[in-house]
């Protein structure tokens, strides 16, 4: 497995691979890898000659500096998981490499990456607006988040120029936003959303799970229990407004949680479903804080 930190060196290597006729699968990540990420690597390996995984904690998609500084950074452990999984290339750039060096003449463009205030980079001035796809859920509670995702993902697509890309369905809204961005910008890349992997108690695998304390971890399955309760209520004909009340009660019973949102939406448009009968591709989406850790999950049916 080859590890690159430089965009120019990665581009040059991938150019030579493309010239040999190899197809490229791409798995973008922020590291702190788990089995869910490895399932994306596996999906890519099954369909491509070469699999590239990027590991970059993208500072511009965090709207909360504490969340950014708490985000686990575990490059060595990540590489130790990727190599036996058969990943061919890791791309792990610095913020400065991705966004260019900070311009001291323009203080407003300076940013620190939170974990290390001495690391500065030039904050992009381009802005993505994903319209109604980002006025709800994550976009509503994390202003600017999808702008940061859009910028980094489009930049990574331009650098890697993959044939196919693999995203976890756990970030359902991210998948919808990236799908739309790929249409609007004409990326000729196949998007493959992959199923959420879960722990034995139903907790969706996430890099953030490792920040849960030993007391919090057993409580975390409350989220998946809430989603399965909501699904069975909807399928038995309970109106969406009543299902939402039931979910509020469900979280009310567990004071360690602070429910941020529970929404019943169409998985593609992300707009609320108000009618009694669930539509095809109904998505139940939750975000909740358990202590200091913000967890998201969804069920699509
Ligand atoms: O899902 C993630 O890990 C990130 O949002 C992504 C797609 C790697 C962009 O930074």
The string of pLDDT tens digits covering residues 205-223 is: 999 999 999 999 999 999 9
Q: How far is ligand 1, taken at its centre, from the CA of residue 288, in Å?
A: 19
Q: For the chain, give the mean pLDDT.
A: 94
Ligand 1 in reach of 28 Cβ (< 6 A): yes
- Which of the listed residues 26, 30, 151 should we mutate to test ligand 1's pocket, taking the one with most ligand atoms within 8 A of CB? 30
Nearest CA, atom 1, ligand 1: 29
H-helix or E-strand spanning residue 133: none
> How many residues would you count in the chain?
301
Determine the pLDDT at residue 103.
Answer: 76
- Which of the listed residues 32, 149, 176, 296 should we mutate to test ligand 1's pocket, taking the one with most ligand atoms within 8 A of CB? 149
Q: How far is ligand 1, taken at its centre, from the CA of residue 244, in Å?
A: 29
Q: How far apart are CA 170 and CA 165, in angstroms?
A: 15
- The DSSP secondary structure of 229-249, one letter per residue, reads HHHHHHHTT--HHHHHHHHHH
Ligand 1 in reach of 181 Cβ (< 6 A): no
105 has pLDDT over 80 = no
Q: How far apart are CA 83 and CA 90, in angstroms?
A: 9
Percentage of residues of the chain with pLDDT beyond 70: 94
H-helix or E-strand spanning residue 166: strand 164-168
Question: Quick one: which atom of ligand 1 is closest to the CA of 149?
Answer: 9
- For residue 291, what are the CA distances in angstroms to 64, 219, 220, 277? 15, 11, 10, 35
Determine the pLDDT at residue 112.
Answer: 54
Determine the pLDDT at residue 125.
Answer: 94
Q: How far apart are CA 286 and CA 199, in angstroms?
A: 17
Candidates 223, 220, 201; CA nearest to 210 is 220
Ligand 1 in reach of 44 Cβ (< 6 A): no
Ligand 1 in reach of 60 Cβ (< 6 A): no
Give yes or no: 37 in active site.
Answer: yes
Q: How far is ligand 1, taken at its centre, from the CA of residue 277, in Å?
A: 33
Nearest CA, atom 3, ligand 1: 29
| Whether the Cβ atoms of residue 224 and residue 297 lie closer than 8 Å to each other | yes
Quick one: average pLDDT of 98-117?
63
Backbone dihedral region of 21: left (phi > 0), alpha (psi from -120 to 50 degrees) or beta?
Answer: left
Quick one: average pLDDT of 137-151?
96
Determine the pLDDT at residue 220.
Answer: 98
pTM of the complete model = 0.94
Ligand 1 in reach of 165 Cβ (< 6 A): no
Question: Which entry of 5, 34, 37, 192 is annotated as an active-site residue?
Answer: 37
Determine the pLDDT at residue 106.
Answer: 45
- The DSSP secondary structure of 173-190, one letter per residue, reads HHHHHHHHHHHHHT---E
Kindly give the pairing relationship between strand 257-266 and strand 282-290: antiparallel
**Cα 23 to the center of its chain, rounded Å:** 24
Nearest CA, atom 9, ligand 1: 149
Quick one: average pLDDT of 54-75?
93
CA angle 129, 54, 82 (to 5 degrees): 145
Helix, strand, coil share (%) of the chain residues, nearest 5: 45, 20, 35
CA angle 194, 200, 203 (to 5 degrees): 60
Q: How far apart are CA 124 and CA 122, in angstroms?
A: 6
Kindly give the pairing relationship between strand 50-55 and strand 190-194: unpaired
Ligand 1 in reach of 30 Cβ (< 6 A): yes
Q: What pLDDT band is residue 108 in, cutting at 50, 70 and 90?
A: very low
119 has pLDDT over 90 = no
Determine the pLDDT at residue 70.
Answer: 87
Q: How far apart are CA 230 and CA 243, in angstroms?
A: 6
Nearest CA, atom 2, ligand 1: 29
Ligand 1 in reach of 173 Cβ (< 6 A): no
| Whether the Cβ atoms of residue 100 and residue 119 lie closer than 8 Å to each other | no
Determine the pLDDT at residue 27.
Answer: 99
Kindly give the pairing relationship between strand 282-290 and strand 293-300: antiparallel
- Which of the listed residues 39, 41, 153 should we mutate to test ligand 1's pocket, taking the one with most ligand atoms within 8 A of CB? 153
Determine the pLDDT at residue 118.
Answer: 47
> Within 10 A of 22 (CB to CB), how many other CB atoms are there?
14
């Amino acid at each position: 497995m080859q590890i690159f930190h430089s965009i120019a060196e990665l581009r040059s290597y991938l150019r030579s691979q493309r010239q040999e006729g190899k197809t490229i699968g791409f798995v973008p990540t922020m590291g702190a890898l788990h089995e869910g990420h490895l399932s994306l690597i596996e999906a890519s390996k099954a369909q491509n000659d070469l699999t590239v995984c990027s590991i970059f904690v993208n500072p511009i998609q965090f709207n909360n500096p504490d969340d950014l500084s708490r985000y686990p950074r575990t490059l060595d452990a990540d590489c130790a998981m990727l190599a036996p999984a058969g990943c061919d290339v890791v791309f792990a750039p610095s913020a400065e490499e991705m966004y260019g060096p900070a311009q001291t003449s323009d203080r407003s463009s300076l940013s620190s990456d939170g974990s290390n205030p001495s690391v500065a980079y030039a904050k992009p001035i381009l802005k993505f607006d994903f319209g109604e796809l980002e006025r709800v859920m994550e976009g509503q509670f994390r202003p600017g988040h999808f702008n940061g995702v859009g910028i980094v993902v489009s930049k990574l697509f331009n650098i890697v120029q993959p044939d196919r890309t693999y995203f976890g369905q756990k970030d359902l809204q991210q998948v919808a936003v990236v799908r739309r961005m790929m249409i609007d910008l004409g990326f000729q890349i196949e998007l493959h959303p992959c199923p959420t992997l879960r722990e034995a108690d139903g907790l969706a695998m996430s890099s953030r799970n490792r920040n849960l304390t030993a007391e919090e971890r057993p409580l975390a399955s409350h989220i998946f229990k809430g989603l399965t309760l909501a699904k069975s209520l909807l399928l038995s004909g309970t109106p969406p407004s009543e299902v939402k009340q039931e979910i509020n009660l469900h979280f009310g019973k567990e004071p360690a949680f602070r429910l941020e949102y529970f929404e019943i939406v169409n998985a593609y448009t992300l707009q609320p479903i108000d009618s009694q009968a669930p539509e095809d591709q109904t998505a139940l989406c939750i975000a909740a804080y358990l202590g200091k850790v913000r967890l998201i999950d969804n069920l699509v049916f």
